[in-house]
Amino acid sequence: MTQVPDFAVVPGAQVHEALTGHEDTVIAAVEAAYRLHGEGETVNPDSYFLRFPDRPSSRIIALPASVRGEVGVHGIKWISSFPENVAAGIPRASAVLVLNDAETGYPFACLESSIISAARTAASAALAADRISAARGPRPARVGFFGVGLIARYIHTYLKAAGFSFEEIGVHDLSAEHADGFSDYLRRTENDGVRITVHDKAEDLIRSSDLIVFATVAGEPHVTDPGWFTHNPLVLHVSLRDLSPEIVLSAWNAVDDIDHCLKANTSLHLAEQRTGNRDFVAGTLYDMLTGTIAPPTDRPAIFSPFGLGVLDLAVAKHVYDRVHEAGGLHTVPGFFHELKRYG
């Protein structure tokens, strides 16, 4: 007999515990979600942006999605980005995620999701870096982080979990305080002997790095010279709007979803507007996973991920299952009250 599921609340501490130290399983969950997405086993509509006339830099985004296969859930992530929070000493982003039962549609869990969002973003970047590096030759030993907030910290953690080991780490941020804070984090977590350098100039960071992570809040391109990339680095363009169309068009490009990435004036969308076509996009991460495309070594290789809602659902379901198996779910008795049609 069909029953209404219990409703659980999974707070951030439980999410953190379920994910920390298990980065390899999160990367595997994200890879499985990408494969389901490539095989047509997902629904991932456009995100909806709630904007505010009096706060143009702030927004709240709804990402609905559905994943079949072993994940087998529907759901939505509701994530806010209020950059002014940083000056007040609290994180820019906050989020919750609701999981819906695939059979009845009833919500069965609400999870704190800023950690889930950071983890799925980092896992996606690490997965792409691993596959691109494997195809291009030796893994990069010099990494540069352009923008050093929470996402950069998670990407560093997940790159290490994916087997990357660095000799040099470069740091660049518009805020000297943030650059110093990220450098202190690196010194605490990296091996002795790793050279950590804060670069005042963006060009110096890029030219001295074989792997570059863009994790900024830029709203339009601010890196414009293709000459900075003539050493053909691997670029994880996580923030989507840092690079000029000229740089995009001079590189080999892969995305996680073409339609999602080429809109809303992302760097790729600007390149499409410039050329009138999408021929500069080689394909998707799914195409890399299945061997359909492979990156060259004679051009920069840029991976630009939109960050699909299906990834959030896959990681959230992974978290829910781990907490459930450990007997730690906090359920809300009687959350759904009107269950009889006629009272």
pLDDT tens, residue by residue, 288-329: 999 999 999 999 999 999 989 999 999 999 999 999 999 999
pLDDT value of position 60? 97
Q: Is the pLDDT of residue 142 over 70?
A: yes
Neighbours of 28 (CB within 10 A): 15
How does the average pLDDT of the chain come out, rounded?
96
3-state secondary structure of 12: helix
Q: Which of 223, 225, 210 is nearest to 297 (CA)?
A: 210
Burial class (CB in 10 A: 0-12, 13-18, 19+), 298: exposed
User: Which of 27-31, 84-88, 149-153 shows the lowest mean pLDDT across its residues?
Assistant: 84-88
Q: Residue 83: which pLDDT band, with cuts at 50, 70 and 90?
A: confident
pLDDT value of position 192? 85
Q: Residue 191: which pLDDT band, with cuts at 50, 70 and 90?
A: confident
pLDDT tens, residue by residue, 30-74: 999 999 999 999 999 999 999 999 999 899 999 999 999 999 999
Angle (CA) 292-297-298 rounded to 5° is: 120
Which helix H or strand E contains 326, and what residues bound it? none
Torsion of CA 202, 206, 207, 211, to 10 degrees: 160
pLDDT value of position 336? 93
Q: Residue 78: which pLDDT band, with cuts at 50, 70 and 90?
A: very high
Q: Residue 1: which pLDDT band, with cuts at 50, 70 and 90?
A: low
For the chain, domains (ranges, CATH) are: 8-116+309-331 (3.30.1780.10), 123-304 (3.40.50.720)
pTM, rounded to two decimals? 0.95
pLDDT tens, residue by residue, 206-216: 999 999 999 99
What is the rounded distance in angstroms from the CA atom of residue 115 to the CA atom of residue 34? 19
Burial class (CB in 10 A: 0-12, 13-18, 19+), 56: exposed
